[in-house]
Structure 1
Amino acid sequence: MAWGSVLLVAVAVMAGMIWLGKMPRKAWELSAAALFLGIAGYAWQGQPSLAGSPKEPVEKLGMFDEDLAKQRDEMGGNFGNARAWLVLADSQSRQGKFATAATALSKGLETFPEDADLWVALGNALVGHSNGLLTPASQFAYQKAATLAPDHPAPPFFLGLALATSGQLQQARAIWGELLERSPPDAEWREDLTTRLATIDALIAQQSGAPAPGMPGSVPTAPTAN
Structure 2
Amino acid sequence: MSWLPVIALAMAAFVVAAFALRLPKSGWALFGAALLFGLAGYAMHGSPGYAGSPTENVPEANPNNAAMVDARREFFGADSLPSRYVTIADGFARNGQFEDSANMLLNAISQDPSDVEAWVGLGNALVEHADGSLTPAALYAYSQAEQLAPQSPASAYFLGIGLLRSGRPEEARRIWAQLIENAPTDAEWVEPMTLRLERLDAMLTQMGGQQPAASGQ
* Residues 93-114 of structure 1 deviation map (CA, whole Å, 9 limit, x = unaligned): 1111111111111111111112
What amino acid sits opposite 2:123 in the alignment?
A: G
1:181 corresponding residue in structure 2 = 181
- Structure 1: runs of 5 or more not aligned: 20-24, 214-219
What amino acid sits opposite 1:83 in the alignment?
A: S
Cα contact 2:66–2:93 (8 A) shared by 1: no
1:217 corresponding residue in structure 2 = none
Deviation at residue 206 of structure 1 after TM alignment = 2.6
Aligned with 1:10 (options 6, 11, 14): 6
Q: Given the superposition, is the C-alpha separation of residues 76 and 42 from structure 1 closer, same or farther in structure 2, using an over 3 Å criterion?
A: same
Cα contact 1:74–1:188 (8 A) shared by 2: no
Counterpart CA distance in 1 for 2:138 and 2:175 is 16
2:171 corresponding residue in structure 1 = 171
1:66 corresponding residue in structure 2 = 66
Aligned with 1:41 (options 38, 45, 52): 45
2:25 corresponding residue in structure 1 = none
Aligned identity (percent) is 33
Counterpart CA distance in 1 for 2:36 and 2:187 is 70
What amino acid sits opposite 1:157 in the alignment?
A: Y
Aligned length: 197
Counterpart CA distance in 2 for 1:190 and 1:10 is 70
Q: Secondary structure at the match of 1:208?
A: coil
Q: Secondary structure at the match of 1:155?
A: helix
Counterpart CA distance in 1 for 2:121 and 2:214 is 37
Normalising by structure 1, what TM-score? 0.69
CA RMSD of aligned residues (A): 3.9
- Structure 2: runs of 5 or more not aligned: 16-20, 22-30
Cα contact 1:92–1:101 (8 A) shared by 2: yes
Counterpart CA distance in 2 for 1:41 and 1:221 is 68
Within 5 A, what are the aligned runs for 1:78-157? 78-79=79-80, 83-157=83-157
Counterpart CA distance in 1 for 2:14 and 2:192 is 67
Deviation at residue 141 of structure 1 after TM alignment = 0.8
Q: Secondary structure at the match of 1:6?
A: coil
Deviation at residue 185 of structure 1 after TM alignment = 4.8
Q: Given the superposition, is the C-alpha separation of residues 67 and 9 from structure 1 closer, same or farther in structure 2, using an over 3 Å criterion?
A: same
What amino acid sits opposite 2:97 in the alignment?
A: K
